[in-house]
Amino acid sequence: MSKDNDNFYTNERIQNDLNYERAKAIADQMLHCGLISLSEYDNLMDINRKTFSPLFWEIFPHSLAMCGNQSDV
């Protein structure tokens, strides 16, 4: 393993990932309860990705609409 990969899972990165998951759970509930629209949800998740930089954010869908069934939220 290279030296660059040794520090991938820093405390800060893990904490950011946890904060992202918390923010996502709240946004999911807000969408499910009809408090925000799908467009607002997508905008909020974009802001959350930029704010918290979750681990592996590169592979996350950029829109819930791209995920197909929205009833899972």
Band the pLDDT of 69: cuts 50, 70, 90: very low
Q: How far is CA 38 from CA 7, 24, 30, in A?
A: 36, 13, 10
As a whole number of Å, the CA-based R_g of the chain is: 14
40 within domain boundaries = yes
Encode pLDDT of 30-39 as tens digits: 999 999 999 9
Of 8, 12, 21, 14, whose CA–CA distance to 48 is shortest? 21
What is the tens place of the pLDDT at every residue in 33-66?
Answer: 999 999 999 999 989 888 887 665 555 555 555 4
* Structural domain contains residue 3: no
**Residue 11 vs residue 35, higher pLDDT:** 35
* Number of domains the chain contains: 1
Residue 43 CB burial class (10 angstroms; 0-12, 13-18, ≥19): middle
Token readout for 48 is 């959350």
Whether the pLDDT of residue 72 is over 60: the answer is no
Q: Do the domain assignments include residue 38? A: yes
Task: Supply the range of the domain harboring residue 20.
Answer: 9-72
